[in-house]
Structure 1
């Protein structure tokens, strides 16, 4: 599985939950501690900003909403593994959340990814299986990390992969963390430790 495809899969988790138009909301970037990245032998780039515009239904009325979101992607230097940390505004209009991420569970969130991803033939998100759940402290909150098993199509054939997914509300934003790696690569513990090293400073204290 190509690193770019792994990163695209993870980034879609954020983009699938963004809403966007006349009302504007902006998240603050979320990253992973540099020391933790060095220890895990991961490298990445600065968070990238994406603005999504969409029409949402609120109290029976259509609203144009613009959401500024951020994604930071990190790749292992010696294995085909990627971790993406994404932040999206936990926006509400008239007391109603306009961000689907705030309402979805892990498997439902992956189903949303399956609807939005550009190349659905490459990663099978329709037939995912929950293989493990574990609580980790992420951004000061005990957060459930769900591990899924599925397959990715490559030039060498179908490759079993693991997807680790966590979502936590923090200081006005929803921070989503997605780790992806081949099943044969024992990267789960490393990626969960990196999730615990996530950093985010939102607007709400």
Structure 2
């Protein structure tokens, strides 16, 4: 089933009210999503898999509460003399209230989701040289790949990224899938001159994830 992103509804605000007046509203965590070492080839290496905490705030009138989400970022990269190709795989808990997801990614537009994912990557020690502010996204292509056993739309974009203080063109491939209680975001990036599309999408198809369900 294709994962569909929608806006958090009034049910979230009601949950805030029901939570009372003290402390963090709730804490949720996901399980890591990774590409197995056996799937890495063609110069791609695993940087690390790191947990990241994403605090979220909700408010209704004078009531303000926090939801604290712990996710995981796995980074993979291939470096040549002048360029780099990378893949970030981010898992976030798909906690729900009244059928509405509290995952931070479900109510983001694609440009926001690209920046959000690169922000998470920047919190790790994976060195990609691509800053979170990618602008001017334009859809190049879409295709369906099987990710975690689910037919998943992969959208390919061109955009402009800041690399070591210079604006450069970049190609990005974005896929989002819901799996066993978590939402998995896969974002690949490479220089337009690098023919890495097939290699990166093949890595997406090899992602493994064991959720709590």
TM score, norm. by length of structure 1: 0.76
1:85 to 72, 84, 89: 89
2:28 to 6, 19, 25: 25
Show structure 1 runs of 5+ residues with no match. Answer: 1-20
Following TM superposition, by how much is the alpha carbon of 1:92 offset from its aligned partner in structure 2, in angstroms? 1.5
Aligned counterpart, 1:169: 178
Aligned counterpart, 1:9: none
Following TM superposition, by how much is the alpha carbon of 1:55 offset from its aligned partner in structure 2, in angstroms? 1.3
Question: In the alignment, is the contact (CA less than 8 A) between 1:114 and 1:126 conserved in 2?
Answer: no
Describe the SS at the equivalent of 1:127.
strand
Structure 2 CA distance for partners of 1:126 and 1:113, relative to 1, 3 Å: farther
Structure 2 CA distance for partners of 1:46 and 1:122, relative to 1, 3 Å: closer
TM score, norm. by length of structure 2: 0.73
Greater fraction helix = 1
Following TM superposition, by how much is the alpha carbon of 1:73 offset from its aligned partner in structure 2, in angstroms? 0.5
Describe the SS at the equivalent of 2:136.
coil
Q: Equivalents in 2 of 1:178, 1:141: separation in Å?
A: 17
Query: Residues 1-205 of structure 1 correspond to what in structure 2 (within 5 A)?
Result: 21-37=24-40, 39-57=41-59, 62-78=64-80, 79-104=83-108, 106-107=110-111, 109-110=113-114, 125-154=134-163, 157-204=166-213
Question: In the alignment, is the contact (CA less than 8 A) between 2:118 and 2:131 conserved in 1?
Answer: no
Show structure 2 runs of 5+ residues with no match. Answer: 1-23, 123-129
Describe the SS at the equivalent of 1:56.
strand
Following TM superposition, by how much is the alpha carbon of 1:113 offset from its aligned partner in structure 2, in angstroms? 6.5
Q: Equivalents in 1 of 2:63, 2:101: separation in Å?
A: 14
Q: Equivalents in 1 of 2:189, 2:198: separation in Å?
A: 12
Q: Equivalents in 1 of 2:79, 2:121: separation in Å?
A: 25
Structure 2 CA distance for partners of 1:57 and 1:196, relative to 1, 3 Å: farther
Question: In the alignment, is the contact (CA less than 8 A) between 2:161 and 2:168 conserved in 1?
Answer: yes
Structure 2 CA distance for partners of 1:183 and 1:113, relative to 1, 3 Å: same
Following TM superposition, by how much is the alpha carbon of 1:128 offset from its aligned partner in structure 2, in angstroms? 0.9
Question: In the alignment, is the contact (CA less than 8 A) between 2:114 and 2:187 conserved in 1?
Answer: no
Q: How many residues align?
A: 180
Structure 2 CA distance for partners of 1:131 and 1:45, relative to 1, 3 Å: same
